[in-house]
């Protein structure tokens, strides 16, 4: 989204959501379970036909690095977090 640009319309974005998921899963997946579920539901709504993620619901840009963060969050959710992977 935009910093200090009040004329810009803000939207929910995949990059911040994917990053938040990684943090919540790494810190305390039980405590943040509801937010994690909502985050994954939102990310699924941004899935492109090629399975990457659109940046937001108003964008046709498939965002590679946010898609990678989301993939890592899903891996951590399914398989646990390896302490050497947290960077």
Q: What is the pTM of this model?
A: 0.83
Q: Return the pLDDT at 3.
A: 66
DSSP per-residue letters across 3-68: SS-TTSPP--BHHHHHHHHHHHHHHHTTTTHHHHHHHHHHHHHTB-TTS-BBSBTT---B-HHHHH
**Which is more confident, 87 or 40?**
40
- pLDDT tens column, 15-45: 999 999 999 999 999 999 999 999 999 999 9
């Amino acid at each position: 989204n935009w910093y200090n640009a009040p004329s810009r319309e803000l939207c929910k974005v995949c990059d911040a959501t994917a990053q938040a998921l990684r943090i919540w899963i790494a810190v305390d997946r039980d405590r943040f379970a509801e937010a994690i579920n909502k985050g994954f539901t939102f990310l699924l709504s941004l899935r492109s036909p090629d399975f990457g993620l659109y940046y937001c619901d108003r964008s046709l840009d498939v965002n590679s690095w946010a898609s990678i963060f989301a993939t890592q969050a899903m891996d951590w959710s399914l398989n646990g977090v390896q302490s050497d992977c947290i960077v």
